[in-house]
Structure 1
């Protein structure tokens, strides 16, 4: 019973991450190189997965295994930022870096 509850919680966290990125189940499955039906069983908590599948999901979602497995994010955890950036077309990354740099500089200046 405890294993079932844990699997449902893990699947829920994966689904929540997927939905926050506006990925369909099929899109995430493709990005993680997993079968869509397999991902469905994981999200519903009816199936289990290997460490290799966990790694693929973490990379595709831009989140840590700690978050997926335990629901914990360390302070300073950048998984949400990683998740947002993971779905971005790589050609836009330099613009994001530039915007972030300017924003951080403005924070530094305002603190002085």
Structure 2
């Protein structure tokens, strides 16, 4: 799991998360252990609650529409602004725990 999702779970008990998405804590446990699958409507509720895409949950990557949105925002920046944006991205990337980066490469 990615650090942002782990942070969410560290601040939101399983029963509270289960209540938010309309399932039982046992169901969440069963999904985590791959005992049961998850329906598309429930996956959508999970994504909306966590504020992430299903691609991110499953593959650990942002969906292309989100990346396209970022591209649109930076396409008219000056060279100096782009360098500053790259520095910010580098700082953020360096702050991600090493094990999360390694998982994305697989």
TM-score, structure 1 as length reference = 0.49
1:20 has 2:7 as partner = yes
Aligned pairs, number: 67
Structure 1 stretches of at least 4 aligned residues deviating more than 6 Å after TM superposition: none
Alignment of 1:8-87 (within 5 A): 13=1, 17=5, 19-21=6-8, 22-74=11-63
Q: Which runs of 5+ in 1 are unaligned?
A: 1-12, 79-107
Tell me the secondary structure at the aligned position of residue 42 of structure 1.
helix
Counterpart Cα distance in 2 of 1:67 and 1:31: 20
Q: Which runs of 5+ in 2 are unaligned?
A: 68-80, 85-106
Counterpart Cα distance in 1 of 2:54 and 2:66: 12
